[in-house]
Chains A and B, each alone.
Chain A
Amino acid sequence: MTALKLENVNKSFGPVHVLKDINLTVEEGEFVVFVGPSGCGKSTLLRVIAGLEDASSGTVQIGDDIVNDVPPAKRGIAMVFQSYALYPHLTVKGNMGLGLKQEGQPKSVIEERVDKASKMLDLDDYLTRRPAELSGGQRQRVAIGRAIVRDPKLFLFDEPLSNLDAALRMNTRVEIAALHRTLSASMIYVTHDQIEAMTLADKIVVLRDGRIEQIGSPMELYNNPANRFVAGFLGSPSMNFLVRSVPGVAPGQTIGIRPEYLGLRADGQIAGQVTHVERLGGDTNLLVRTEQGETLTVRLFGQNDTQVGADVRLGFDPQMAFYFDETDHRVLPKAA
């Protein structure tokens, strides 16, 4: 069964066309991540799904119902916001229970569901506190708890980790993944962080300028990007795009090689000079300026004692390279 179906969804703010012909299906229990640079429309798309914005045209279907004219509270969704958006005057318990109270659920049901969610999220000790007395991570857990309590058909996350520091972000990411396994609910998650997208998603939707660029599992997108944008957006450090440095690339074409598939080889096709070295312990990143004047990143696994200024030759497996035409679409390599 499908949890969400978008058909030809468009959204304009006055003359600005923000979402362009969005078609998307989310299966039940799927974890879908919308990813893209800021301003690509991913948050707007989430707000259209939530009902906080109306679609200018097209249909939004949640479960079996077309919900274009249904108010947010009746769509069977719950949303977690970047800024937590907890009600400052209510306790943690009040925050989590408000949605159910508005639905007119009996007290016993509210108690039971809040209790269950707080156990799941380790919030038992904080139920009587107000949001101002909680740390950022705790607030985010309360916001997630507020979503769980409503037992929605669809969870919506709007960059929930952006306000957390790096360590906490990693922990919360794992928690959200665990939550998805426990609840086996359908979730949509918006982020601009490709690491969150790669680690959490069953299915990634890459957006740019209000259009869907590509949809697929993380590894599909990584191994088989449809165009230069997707190839460059996913993967860290991002893919190298070279026009001149690699011999045998047809004019007009661009070759894309991921930093991890480049290696220092005496017989390598690319010659250049190391301009910068980043030593991360587990990895070493080299920035290399080729003889043809292009800069590329090389990711070496483990530690490496290459120094800045060293002349190196880089090689790669041609199987692992991607080719793009002038319009940035993926093509097969042209015989030169």
Chain B
Amino acid sequence: MSTLRKPAGTTIAAHAILITYTLIALFPVFVILINSFKTRRAIFREPLALPNADSFSLIGYQTVFNQGDFFLYFQNSMIVTVVSLTLILLFGAMAAFALAEYGFRGNTLMGLYLALGIMIPIRIGTVAILEMMVSTGLVNTLTALILVYTAQGLPLAVFILSEFMRGVSDDLKNAGRIDGLSEYQIFFRLVLPLVRPAMATVAVFNMIPIWNDLWFPLILAPAEEVKTLTLGSQVFIGQFVTDWNAVLSALSMAILPVMILYVIFSRQLIRGITSGAVK
């Protein structure tokens, strides 16, 4: 494939389209970033101008750090996202392995049942979930969020991972069995490393919606000590007055962890997305 030469025009056009898209996609992020370093007046006077000596201000960041428990919110978001992702990946991979590897009765039915969750949005069940959380006493805990997000992420994880796991060579698993590896060892030591790109894909697809979610934190965990970052940032948005400096600063900082995680996963992610296509 790489020896196939494409005409220069096509290459330039492709790059032009991709660069244009990148610029459009990054523009809002860029506007948030530059405005977070400006004074309130400068934000409204020239929203698209870069901060200069005159308009530069860290007032937004100061507000964020002084008011509210920003670090606590940050920590809450981090705990919820990381624990949910871990659980989604662990249980999703285990379920996928079972579906892909063992021909038990009802296998197909179980696979369909698990895939059903992809088609039905979990928010439809919000009222029922809230009632359940109230009766189990989990309202205003991070556990509530983690459980909901894990449930939300599992269907797609099982669906994607089981497809990949079917692709892992049977001979390899059988070689492991003959060498005396237990089924758990086969799963953790032989199969998981081979489906790492798929795991990264699932992680990224799940990470961003969880990190950005406002709905469930608002309903299930609105208390001060369990607020997530997205919910915490809402204190700066009032009905009549909105502290834009603070909002923009909070959002700028909220981008960071997602970006860091994305960089960690991205190489695997690209392999995961393309591996089906170029085989």
Contacts and interface: CB of A to CB of B under 8 A. Distances in A.
A98 interface: yes
Given A85-B169, A88-B194, A99 B174 contact: no
B28 interface: no
A178 B193 CA distance: 36
Interface in A77-110: 77-79, 81-89, 98-99, 102-103
Contacts of A84: 171
Contacts of B193: 88-89
A71 interface: yes
Nearest to A71: B177
Size range of the chain A interface in the assembly: 20 to 34
B179 A99 contact: yes
Contacts of A264: none
A150 B179 CA distance: 9
A74 B169 CA distance: 22
Contacts of A86: 175
A23 to B, nearest CB: 25
A24 to B, nearest CB: 21
Interface string B103-123: 000000000000000000000
Nearest to A79: B178
Contacts of B276: none
Given A85-B171, A85-B172, A78 B178 contact: yes
A82 B176 CA distance: 15
Interface residues on B, range: 10 to 19
Contact of B178 (A87, A89, A99): A99
A162 to B, nearest CB: 12
Interface in B166-220: 169, 171-172, 174-181, 189-190, 193-194
Contact of B175 (A47, A51, A79): A79
A283 B193 CA distance: 52
A82 B178 contact: no
Interface of A: 47, 50-52, 71-74, 77-79, 81-89, 98-99, 102-103, 146, 150, 158
17 contacts: A47-B174, A52-B178, A72-B174, A72-B178, A73-B179, A79-B178, A81-B175, A83-B169, A83-B172, A85-B172, A85-B174, A85-B175, A87-B172, A88-B194, A102-B179, A103-B180, A158-B171
Interface of B: 169, 171-172, 174-181, 189-190, 193-194
10 interchain residue pairs of minimum CB distance: A73-B180, A102-B180, A85-B171, A99-B179, A81-B171, A85-B175, A85-B172, A83-B171, A72-B178, A72-B177
